[in-house]
């Protein structure tokens, strides 16, 4: 395995299995310890959060994670930066790099915007969500949450329901979950479904498209997705009421879930559309736990980008090599 230090994080498919395991173990360490007890591992270093699209969870959990590790965090607003004068993302990254900033967390509306830049910059790139392509840290925090609850992903039945077509979260899970042993069920309106074969995922045989009620009845994890109206270019969506009745996790559908099954959602949540208001903070819901785990996961991701090998040494013996 390549050393898990000084790395970009562009997507899940480019992570080796052992790297995923190590990141999860380190995130679990932070979930137990919450904050460093001794010297701050990344003290004195600089990171920047470049968000070209709105965000609450990803942006602020990265910032909390970075500050817990001792990083100096630079904030960025596209509206008040030289992007408004036509500066490219490459030039923005090189500018920050020349000032000694060592990591850039980037959210962007354009899919795969970081891939052609990765070999051209030294600043570590961390994908915080690019278009409909990938959301690797959401994948990691979701998997951490599932592992904490179920122990293992082997044989876990995960139903991902909703606007799959516009979901970078779903695409990261399609790549990652089957590799970790989970079976994935997809469900939603026909015009929002994706074809796993066309996505070119690693284990398409572990992915099935099912009617929503069947997926909910079979699932150990019911993961609901928001309708991403901001990415729709046509009439894909009739009304919140019709959508909820046809595809939403209503109280009636939640009654059909297995006794031990849980509800997840990457959020933001549209209460009363893809999920009933009462279910968001119900006993079955892990949604707030996902948000908490976002901090611990992003601490591990920042350490992978900027920390030394000594952080990872204890985990090398414990992951399947």
Instruction: Point out which residues bind ligand CP (CB under 6 A).
Output: 55-59, 129, 138, 266-268
Residue 94: CB minimum distance to ligand CP, A: 26
CA separation for the pair 21, 2 (Å, rounded): 14
Residue 135: which of 163, 159, 183, 170 has the closest Cα? 170
C-alpha dihedral over 219, 223, 224, 230, to 10 degrees?
-140
CB nearer to ligand CP: pick between 56 and 82: 56
Residue 294: CB minimum distance to ligand CP, A: 8
Residue 277: CB minimum distance to ligand CP, A: 19
- Asked if 1 contacts 23 with a C-beta cutoff of 8 angstroms, the reply is no
Residue 295: CB minimum distance to ligand CP, A: 13
CB nearer to ligand CP: pick between 142 and 183: 142
CA separation for the pair 209, 164 (Å, rounded): 11
**Neighbour-count burial for 20-33, b at 16+ CB within 10 Å, e otherwise:** bbbbbbbbbebbee
Question: Cα 126 vs. chain centroid, distance in angstroms?
Answer: 12
Residue 138: CB minimum distance to ligand CP, A: 5
Residue 169: which of 58, 273, 95 has the closest Cα? 58
CB nearer to ligand CP: pick between 78 and 316: 78
What is the enclosing helix (H) or strand (E) of 26? Answer: helix 17-33
CA separation for the pair 222, 317 (Å, rounded): 34
How many CA atoms, within 13 angstroms, populate the side-chain half-sphere of residue 262? 18
Residue 61: CB minimum distance to ligand CP, A: 8
On the 0-12 / 13-18 / 19+ scale of CB atoms within 10 A, 291 is: middle
Residue 264: which of 195, 216, 203, 193 has the closest Cα? 216
Residue 290: CB minimum distance to ligand CP, A: 8
CB nearer to ligand CP: pick between 138 and 145: 138
Residue 230: CB minimum distance to ligand CP, A: 11
């Amino acid at each position: 395995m390549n050393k898990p230090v000084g790395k970009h994080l562009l997507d899940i498919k480019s992570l080796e299995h052992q790297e995923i395991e190590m990141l999860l173990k380190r995130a679990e360490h932070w979930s137990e310890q919450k904050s460093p007890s001794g010297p701050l591992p990344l003290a004195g270093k600089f990171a920047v959060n470049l968000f070209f699209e709105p965000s609450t969870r990803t942006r602020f959990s990265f910032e909390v994670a970075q500050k817990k590790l001792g990083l100096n965090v630079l904030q960025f607003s596209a509206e008040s930066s030289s992007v408004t004068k036509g500066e490219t993302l490459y030039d923005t990254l090189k500018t920050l790099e020349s000032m000694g900033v060592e990591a850039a967390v980037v959210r962007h509306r354009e899919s795969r915007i970081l891939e052609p830049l990765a070999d051209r910059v030294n600043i570590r790139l961390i994908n915080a969500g690019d278009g409909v392509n990938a959301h690797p840290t959401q994948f990691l925090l979701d998997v951490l949450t599932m592992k904490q609850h179920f122990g293992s992903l082997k044989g876990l039945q995960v139903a991902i329901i909703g606007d799959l077509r516009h979901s970078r979260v779903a695409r990261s899970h399609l790549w990652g979950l089957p590799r970790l042993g989970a079976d994935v069920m997809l469900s939603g309106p026909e015009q929002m479904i994706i074809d796993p074969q066309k996505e070119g995922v690693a284990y398409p045989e572990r992915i099935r498209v099912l009617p929503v009620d069947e997926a909910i009845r079979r699932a150990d994890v019911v993961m609901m997705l928001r309708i991403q109206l901001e990415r729709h270019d046509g009439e894909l969506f009739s009304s919140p009421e019709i959508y909820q009745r046809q595809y939403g996790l209503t109280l009636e559908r939640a009654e059909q879930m297995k006794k031990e099954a849980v509800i997840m959602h990457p959020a933001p949540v549209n209460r009363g559309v893809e999920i009933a208001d009462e279910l968001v903070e119900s006993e079955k819901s892990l949604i707030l736990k996902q948000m908490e785990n976002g901090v611990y996961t992003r601490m591990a991701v920042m350490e992978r980008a900027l920390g030394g090998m000594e952080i990872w040494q204890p985990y090398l013996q414990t992951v399947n090599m």
